[in-house]
Amino acid sequence: MLGVVFTEFLDFVAAGHGEEALERVIEEAALDHGGAYTAIGLYDADELRRLAAALAACTGREADALLLEFGTRLGAALIERYPQVFAGHADLFDLLCGLGGHIRDVLHMLDPQADAPVFRGEVVSPARMRLDYRSSAPLPPLAQGLVLAAAAHYGTPVSIVAGPAPDARADVVRFDIRRR
């Protein structure tokens, strides 16, 4: 997983809960490197799960709810950092249908052996699409938060229902996305 995800998560914790909470989260996550991340490094996604679990223990909130909230914040930061990715797409559905290629390209620039998540979008109607998400280190709430951030960027209110994709591998999550 890209280091920018981790650096943004640590900023998310500090901004929302304070530096003291950030120190507790890093300590409780028991990371070998003490939470020192670089934005362009690649790290094990399990570390993000451990950080989210530590934040959940610190706040009393569910880890998935925190990852969803963080995903929305991360998405906004990525939109600001990489506007060219979004500029070539007419709307949210167009972006999501091409998302897998963008992520794979960025990860493979940093590490040709990187195991990129797979996104496959299908527009069902002008108001509805399905987005299938598969990853060797799945974090569906984070992915859903990223979709919500992209929807906000395009000014497209959406509702999203996540569940297993019928007739797919067990590790595929389907997001049913509807414009409101």
Helix/strand/coil for 118: strand
Same domain, 45 and 111: no
Q: For residue 28, is it within any domain?
A: yes
Highest mean pLDDT among 74-88, 95-109, 137-151: 137-151
Residue 117 belongs to domain with CATH number: 3.90.1520.10
Same domain, 96 and 143: yes
Tell me if 165 sits within 8 A of 138, measured CB to CB. Answer: no
Examine the fold and report which residue of 61, 81, 100 is the final residue of a domain before the chain moves on: 61
114 phi-psi bin (left φ>0, alpha ψ -120 to 50, beta other): beta
Percent of the chain with pLDDT over 90: 71
Segment 23-58, tens digit of pLDDT: 999 999 999 889 999 988 889 999 999 999 999 999
Q: How many domains does the chain have?
A: 2
Asked if pLDDT for residue 148 goes beyond 80, the answer is yes
Same domain, 53 and 102: no
Q: State pTM to two decimals.
A: 0.92
